[in-house]
Each structure stands twice: as C-alpha cells, then as structure tokens.
C-alpha cells in the first residue's frame, strides 16, 4: 500500500513537473534529427524513437496526458454515474426502469466497441474529445452502484428525519445522501482509473486516441512501428509506466474498498 | 426452468434491441455523412455526392430510416460497406467465424490453464511459489491487451521466427497445400493471437478459481475425505476441484466483454482478419454500416454468450433458477 501510494505520488509529481524534469524536448528538434532509433545510452536513457525523439522525455510528458486524461474522464464518469444513479434511485418507477435498462444494454457492449463507434461518429481526436468519450462510456457501472446505495439510504432514519423537517428533495440529496455516497464513489473512481489508463493507451495505440506529436503512453508505443522487437525500448518503458500505474492504482483501490466495506474483503 | 429460459432470453433480446437503437441514433445524429470524405476527391462532384446520399436513403426522415433499418436487420441485411465495396453481410460471414475461432480457442485454453493454476495455488497458500504465480497473474492483468500482444509479436514471432507475424494463412503457400497442411498453417497462425488472449483469460480465471478453492477446502466433506484416508492429491484435484467449479460458467460469461475488447487489439496487432480488426478499419474509413454491424455483432455475442453462461449455470445448480 505504501509502495503503491509512493509510486503514484512519484508519477503525479513527474506529470506536474514534466518540463522541469525532462532531459530533452519531447518533440522533433533540428539538433536531434539524426538520432533515429538509438538504443538506451547515457544521453538518452530510454533511447530514441523513429522520429529521433527522446523516449524518456516522451514518457515523462506522456504521464501528463495519460494521467490527466484518465483522471478527468473518471471525474466525468463519476459525475454522470452519480447523476443517473441518484435520479434512478430517488425517482424509482419508470424512470428507474428505463435508466437501468439502458445501463444494462450499454454495459453489455464491450467498452472498446462503444468507444470505436463514438470515435467514428464524432470524428474527434483531440485530447478533450478523448476525455469526453472515455467519460461517456464509463459511467454505467457507477450509476448502478449509486442507485443501489441511494435506494438504501432513502429509507434510512436520518434521511426520513430530514424530509420530515420539511427539507426539499434537492436539499435532502445534497446535504444528506450525497455525503453518504462519497466512500462508494471514491472506491469506484479509483478502480475506474485503473481500467481507463490501459483503455486510453489502447485507443491512442490504435491511432484513435491522443494524436502524435502530443505524447501519451499509448501512442509512444505505436511509434515503435512495424517491427517493435527491433526497438524494444520504445515499447518497454512506456509499457512499464502503464503497468506500474495500473498496479499502484489497483492496489490503492482494493485497499480503499476494504476500508469502506470490510464485508467485501476478498478471501486472503 | 422454462420460465427461467424465457426470462433470460427476453432479457438478452431487450439488450440487443436497445443497443441497436442507441447505435442507430448515434450514427444518424452524428454530424457529417458517410460520403463526406468522397468530396475530398475532386473528381467527385456535389451532384454525385447528393445522388449517393439519395441512393442509400440518407435523405429520408430518421423514423423512416429506422424502420427500414430494423426491417433489414430482421433479414440480416446490414447494408453496403462503402469502404470495401461489398455487402456488410458478406463481410460478416467471413470475419465472424475467424473471430469465433480465435476467441473459442482462447477460452478453451485460457479457462483450462486458469483453473489448473488456481487449483494448484489454493492448497499452497502463503508459499513462495503461490505468491510468485499470484503476482504474475496480477501483473498480467495490469497489462493492456495490446502490450501483451506486442510482446508476443516481437519476441517469439519476429525475433525467434517460431511463428508467423501476421495474418491467418500463409498467403503464398496456402492454396497449394493439402487439407492437413492447410489446417496446420491456420493453427500456426492462430497460436500467438489465441495464446495472448488465453493468457489474459487464464490470469483472470486463476484468481477466481483460487478463491473458489479456498472457499471449498475448509468444508466438512474435505475433512471427511481426509479422515477416510484419501490421498491429498485426490482431495484437491478430485473432491475439492469438482465442488469449486460451480461459479465458473458465470465467470466466463462475465469475461466475454473483456475477451471481445482484447480481440480488437490482438486482431489488429496480428492482422487477424476478424471482426475486431474489421471494426478498427471501419472506424478509420468512417464506414457507418460496417461500424453499426460490428457493434451489433459484438453485443449479440456478449448478450447471447452471457445468457448461455447463465443457462448453463442454472442447469448445473438449481438454486440459481430461483432468482429469475
């Protein structure tokens, strides 16, 4: 757990301080034009790619984009999930039925396919667009969790008491139900972060996510080209960054889940 | 049982209907049209563009298009693929069996390996071997599918030349081979992409299987078996294993969306001409009918697959049926 938090803090620091840390310009520069596909060395610790760009610097700048996109899209998904889940849970009846059927249907489509359809129809390839698409395809599981939680909370005494004092539905929700949802949202958000990072990397790898020259961990790997084995450093280092991040975030998420609800503790 | 089957079938059909409608709405509300890219070609006039739109019915009211589209779906007509110049149904007829071969092989080997690993791990809980293999499974699960596929492509295929790097058959030799050699050719091309997906399934299944075994091992019937003198090996691999397999079909059902997503990347990287690669290409060429067909095929696969998994689970364990 401590290691996981440490890894994550280092990554966040690297992402924030990218321009100060990166040894080279992550873009093509005139001086570097002849340093194509160099293996790791003292001047290029992670080697260079087919456009003579320093892979270490690209991984460092990629942390910004990859972590930023992941965090922003999870926040969006949490907001949407909480909104739909709360609406369904509080309203009940046909609103609930329709929302949950749509959620069921969307959950049954592999998320990559949903993303592919959205990329095809919106044609978006900007960083903001990717955040939007990842958010739009990530809220369904959360809305289910929130709905379940809201339906339980709605019947609790403190909520009924608030209602009995004449608080409006909106006030009851904001002042009493929403705070009680925070642990659930925190756990769901952390675990969602761990699943969205490889997804963004995958999309960017396919050329349908963040576009080069903006570095993201996924599109750095796609710069390895047709024969990735010959330039293993272009694949290995961003790959390690992805795996370490996912492992760290997952560890933290699992631990948070145990804290939030000890009954969910998995068999040791 | 019949009520359960009907309810589960109706649920699957509802899901597919909603997905079809959502996908249709999305595609038709999107800005632009499927022929917009043709306008970049100076030899295509605006009149031709308008004629294409009219010919394929994109200028009709949305409701009319929807009704037509649903009618066509019922006859398994998905329209014309503009990028491939063929009927979508013909494209699907080729790509779906290839993806099924890939995913089917991956499920069989992945589940088998995952169950074996989980069963082996459970009685060794806390030992070094169990910790290492468990950590490896977790690391595998933390890797994006495309990274595993690239590693498989780069090392055993490109570096050691053990396997071909791409495609489903050897394009130069396949037609001159006899039946056995052709099958061997396909298997050789299948090994790495299916192996990659199988590895991901195995990692996931092994974690569930280990937990299922840990839940069974403290049971009284295990103690009884031990008391009557059964060998420890038989206790684990016979008594406990059989009783731990109950949730397995459900877990396979839950893994299907992940498997399909994985297939999209694996097929793209290994140039396996299945439905996943078809989707990626269709998105690249903005081929709406092909994209729609791909999403539908994916959701039908997942909806039917998980319905089948639930039905099998209900057959195996009557208690499941009560929930329906």
For the record, the structure tokens of B268 come out as 């793209």
Between helix A55-91 and helix A127-136 the angle, nearest 10°, is 40
Rounded Cα distance between B190 and A169, Å, is 58
Rounded Cα distance between B271 and B249, Å, is 30
Closest CA to A212 of A225, A227, A230: A225
Rounded Cα distance between B105 and B262, Å, is 14
Confirm if A238 and A57 have CB atoms less than 8 A apart.
Answer: no
| pLDDT tens for each residue of chain B, 324 residues long | 788 888 888 888 888 888 888 888 877 776 656 666 555 566 667 777 777 777 777 777 878 888 888 888 888 888 888 888 889 999 999 999 999 999 999 999 999 999 999 999 999 988 999 999 999 999 998 888 899 988 888 888 777 778 887 788 777 777 777 888 888 888 888 889 999 999 999 999 999 999 999 988 988 988 998 899 888 888 899 889 988 888 888 889 889 988 999 999 999 999 899 999 999 998 888 888 888 889 888 888 888 888 888 888 888 776 666 544
In whole angstroms, how large is the CA radius of gyration of chain A? 22
Residue of A nearest to B270 (CA): A226
Residue A24 has pLDDT above 60, yes or no: yes
Say whether A243 and B142 touch across the interface (CB within 8 A): yes
Q: What share of chain A is helix, strand, coil (3-state, %, to 5)?
A: 75, 0, 25
Q: Which residue has better confidence, A196 or A124? A: A196
Rounded Cα distance between A214 and B293, Å, is 32
B203-223 burial string, b = 16+ CB within 10 Å, else e? bbbbbbbbbbbbebbeeeebe
How long, in residues, is chain A? 268
ipTM reported for the complex surpasses 0.90: no
Confirm if B73 and B17 have CB atoms less than 8 A apart.
Answer: no
Q: What are residue B80's DSSP bridge partners?
A: B87
Rounded Cα distance between B37 and B287, Å, is 10
For the record, the structure tokens of B127 come out as 């030992």
Nearest to A117 among B145, B264, B295 (CB): B295
Rounded Cα distance between B207 and B214, Å, is 11
Percent of chain A with pLDDT over 70: 95
Please return the burial class of A62, using the count of CB atoms within 10 Å of its CB with bins 0-12, 13-18 and 19+.
Answer: buried
Q: Distance (Å) from the C-alpha of residue B265 to the closest C-alpha of chain A?
A: 8
- Report the pLDDT value the prediction gives residue B30, as an integer from 0 to 100: 67
Rounded Cα distance between A75 and A65, Å, is 15
- Report the pLDDT value the prediction gives residue B320, as an integer from 0 to 100: 63
| Helix residue ranges, H only, B86-178 | 88-121, 128-142, 145-152
The label of the residue with tokens 């599109």 reads A219
Task: Give the pLDDT confidence of A53-101 residue by residue, as tens digits.
Answer: 888 889 999 999 999 999 999 999 999 999 999 999 988 889 999 998 8
The residues in B 74-113 lying below 8 A from A, measured between CB atoms, are none
Residue of B nearest to A237 (CA): B147
Q: Distance (Å) from the C-alpha of residue B158 to the closest C-alpha of chain A?
A: 7
Residue A257 has pLDDT above 80, yes or no: yes
Q: Is the peptide bond before B129 cis (omega within 30 degrees of 0)?
A: no
Between helix B288-316 and helix B275-284 the angle, nearest 10°, is 150
Residue of B nearest to A229 (CA): B154
Residue A264 has pLDDT above 60, yes or no: no
Q: Distance (Å) from the C-alpha of residue A56 to the closest C-alpha of chain B?
A: 18
Residues 6 or more apart whose CB falls under 8 angstroms from that of B90 comprise none
Rounded Cα distance between A24 and A54, Å, is 6
- Report the pLDDT value the prediction gives residue B34, as an integer from 0 to 100: 62
Say whether B264 and A113 touch across the interface (CB within 8 A): yes
Q: Distance (Å) from the C-alpha of residue B177 to the closest C-alpha of chain A?
A: 28
Percent of chain A with pLDDT over 90: 32
Say whether A109 and B32 touch across the interface (CB within 8 A): no
Rounded Cα distance between B192 and B179, Å, is 22
The label of the residue with tokens 């298009």 reads B65
Residue A267 has pLDDT above 50, yes or no: no
Rounded Cα distance between A45 and A233, Å, is 10
CA-to-CA dists, residue A154 to A89, A123, A163, A184, B30, angstroms: 8, 42, 10, 16, 39
The residues in A 189-228 lying below 8 A from B, measured between CB atoms, are 194, 198-199, 201-202, 205-208, 218, 221, 224, 227-228
Say whether B279 and A116 touch across the interface (CB within 8 A): yes
Q: What DSSP line would sit under A80-100, residue for residue?
A: HHHHHHHHHHHH-HHHHHHHH
Nearest to B23 among A117, A194, A266 (CB): A117
Rounded Cα distance between A73 and B320, Å, is 37
- Report the pLDDT value the prediction gives residue A16, as an integer from 0 to 100: 87
For the record, the structure tokens of B154 come out as 């780069």
- Report the pLDDT value the prediction gives residue A33, as an integer from 0 to 100: 65
Residue A25 has pLDDT above 90, yes or no: no
Q: Cα B277 to chain center, whole Å?
A: 12
Residue of B nearest to A199 (CA): B144
The label of the residue with tokens 């009219």 reads B54
CA-to-CA dists, residue A244 to A8, A135, A250, B201, B306, angstroms: 9, 23, 10, 21, 32
Q: What DSSP line would sit under B69-109, residue for residue?
A: HHHHHHTT---EETTTTEEHHHHHHHHHHHHHHHHHHHHHH
- Report the pLDDT value the prediction gives residue A120, as an integer from 0 to 100: 83
Residue of A nearest to B267 (CA): A206
- Indicate the helix (H) or strand (E) that contains A251: helix A232-260
| Helix residue ranges, H only, B158-240 | 179-216, 220-227, 232-234
Closest CA to B291 of A123, A171, A231: A123
- Please, which pLDDT band fits residue A126 given cuts at 50, 70 and 90? confident
């Amino acid at each position: 757990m401590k290691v996981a938090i440490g890894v994550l803090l280092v990554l966040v620091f690297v992402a924030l301080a990218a321009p100060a840390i990166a040894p080279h310009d992550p873009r093509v520069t005139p001086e570097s034009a002849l340093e194509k596909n160099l293996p790791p060395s003292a001047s290029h610790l992670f080697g260079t790619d087919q456009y003579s760009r320093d892979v270490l610097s690209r991984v460092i700048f990629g942390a910004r984009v990859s972590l930023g996109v992941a965090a922003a899209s999870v926040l969006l998904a949490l907001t949407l999930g909480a909104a739909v889940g709360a609406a369904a849970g509080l309203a009940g009846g046909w609103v609930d039925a329709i929302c949950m059927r749509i959620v069921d249907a969307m959950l049954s489509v592999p998320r990559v396919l949903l993303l592919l359809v959205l990329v095809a129809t919106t044609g978006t390839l900007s960083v903001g667009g990717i955040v939007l698409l990842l958010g739009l395809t990530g809220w369904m599981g959360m809305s289910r969790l929130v709905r379940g939680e809201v339906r339980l909370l709605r019947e609790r005494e403190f909520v009924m008491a608030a209602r009995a004092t004449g608080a409006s539905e909106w006030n009851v929700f904001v002042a009493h139900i929403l705070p009680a949802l925070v642990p659930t949202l925190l756990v769901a958000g952390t675990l969602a972060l761990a699943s969205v990072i490889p997804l963004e990397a995958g999309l960017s790898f396919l050329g349908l996510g963040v576009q080069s020259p903006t570095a993201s961990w996924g599109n750095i790997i796609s710069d390895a080209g047709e024969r990735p084995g010959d330039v293993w450093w272009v694949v290995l280092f961003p790959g390690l960054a992805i795996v370490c991040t996912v492992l760290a975030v997952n560890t933290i998420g699992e631990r948070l889940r145990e804290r939030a609800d000890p009954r969910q503790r998995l068999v040791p | 049982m019949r009520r359960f089957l009907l309810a589960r079938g109706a649920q699957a059909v509802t899901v597919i209907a909603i997905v079809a409608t959502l996908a249709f709405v999305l595609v038709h509300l999107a800005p632009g049209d499927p022929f917009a890219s043709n306008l970049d070609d100076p030899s295509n006039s605006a009149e031709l563009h308008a004629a294409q739109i009219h010919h394929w019915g994109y200028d009709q009211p949305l409701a009319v298009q929807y009704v037509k589209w649903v009618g066509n779906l019922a006859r398994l007509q998905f329209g014309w693929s503009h990028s491939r110049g063929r009927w979508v149904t013909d494209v699907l007829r080729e790509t779906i069996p290839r993806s099924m071969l890939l995913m089917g092989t991956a499920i069989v080997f992945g589940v088998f390996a995952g169950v074996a690993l989980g069963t082996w791990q459970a009685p060794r809980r806390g030992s070094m071997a169990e910790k290492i293999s468990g950590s490896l499974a977790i690391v595998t699960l933390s890797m994006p599918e495309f990274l595993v596929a690239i590693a498989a492509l780069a090392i055993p295929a490109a570096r050691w030349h053990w396997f071909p790097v791409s495609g489903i058959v050897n394009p130069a030799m396949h037609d001159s081979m006899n039946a056995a050699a052709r099958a061997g050719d396909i298997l050789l091309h299948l090994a790495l992409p299916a192996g990659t997906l199988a590895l991901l399934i195995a990692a996931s299944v092994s974690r569930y299987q280990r937990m299922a075994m840990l839940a069974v091992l403290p049971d009284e019937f295990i103690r009884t078996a031990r008391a009557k003198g059964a060998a420890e090996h038989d206790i684990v691999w016979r008594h406990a294993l059989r009783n731990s397999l109950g949730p397995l079909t459900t877990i396979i059902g839950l893994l299907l969306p992940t498997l399909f997503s994985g297939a999209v990347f694996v097929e793209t990287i290994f140039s396996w001409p299945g439905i996943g690669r078809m989707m990626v290409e269709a998105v690249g060429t903005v081929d709406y009918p092909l994209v729609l067909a791909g999403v539908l095929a994916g959701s039908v696969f997942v909806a039917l697959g998980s319905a089948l998994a639930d039905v099998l689970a209900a057959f195996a364990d009557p208690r499941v049926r009560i929930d329906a």
